Amino acid sequence: MATTNIIIVNFNAGEWLARSLTSALNFSVGDITVVDNNSSDNSVDLATQHIAERDDNVRVDWQLNDTNVGFAAANNQVLTLVNADYAVLLNPDCELQKDTLSEIVAVMQSDPQIGIASCRILNEDGSLQTTCRRRFPTPWSALVRMLQLHRMFPSSKKFADFDYGSDVSADGPVEMVEAISGAFMVARSSAIQEIGLLDEDYFMHCEDLDWCKRFELAGWKVAFIPVTAVVHAKGVSSSSRPVRVLLTLHQGMNRFFDKFYKTQYAWPIRYSVKLGIALSFVARASLALIRR
């Protein structure tokens, strides 16, 4: 029987950490590791109190960092030690459902070329988060989104958006996609040993795209399995520091472009991409400050 090790990296997730951890205890049988990135709220206390009387709380290993080392580095603390068949990266604002892991692992067991997989990621109201299956961003697709050409020509593959769209049903087929969301990922341990850990030069955001790109380049499949789902209360940990989160997002965009596309484009395109990323940060950070 295939084994799993769940990793939850927490930073100020409040009561959601207890909810996420409870779902992991209820709907998995393997080890669970919670890495706390020096949270300033009471999320760790709430979670430990919540599970204190459970007989299976011994399955939970707590790693409490003295500083916030970032999402990738915190996951890597555990990924280096995983001895299960699959490593499961679960956000602290995500809840597993009863069949989430069993369905995903069953599909991955049936196709040994699937290196990493995820499923439908739902908002609390049951609607789909379209970022649960994505294409890799390129200079062209960034221009398409900036000019909203994907909305003007919705049926054209030439003007396709980063996201695959919301036309997903629970009884739809398994899809091989370019990328999945870092909110919830199930990675095959043997594949991780081949391609390596998460890139710690991403503090938060875009490390999931980077990982999926490296899986693809190494010949592993990236799977989207719609038969099951997780619930994701998006933005719980980042709501108190929106500008900082936007900064790390745009820094991640820069790194992703430099790492995978820099040598493919002439300098005018490279500088246009850099300018576009900078302008996007200024616009979105300004809007975030106005809304506060």
The answer to whether residue 231 sits within a structural domain is yes
Q: Which domain holds residue 145?
A: 4-235
What pLDDT is attached to residue 258?
Answer: 87
Where residue 48 sits, what CATH number does that domain have? 3.90.550.10
- Asked if the structure places residue 114 within a domain, the reply is yes
Lowest mean pLDDT among 117-126, 202-211, 233-242, 248-257: 233-242
Averaged over 250-259, what is the pLDDT?
Answer: 86
Structure tokens at 246: 């936007």
Contact 50, 60 (CB under 8 A): no
| Range list of H helices, the chain | 16-26, 43-51, 71-79, 100-110, 139-146, 149-152, 189-195, 207-217, 242-260, 267-291
Collapsed DSSP state (helix, strand, coil) of residue 59:
helix
Decide if 291 is inside a domain: no
Per residue in 18-37, pLDDT tens? 999 999 999 999 999 999 99
Domain membership of residue 126 (yes or no) is yes
Q: Does a structural domain hold residue 144? A: yes
Tell me which of 52-56, 118-122, 193-197, 252-256 is least confident. Answer: 252-256
User: Does the residue 255 lie in any domain?
Assistant: no
Helix (H, G, I), strand (E, B) or coil at 236: coil
Total of domains in the chain: 1
Residue 281 has pLDDT above 80, yes or no: no
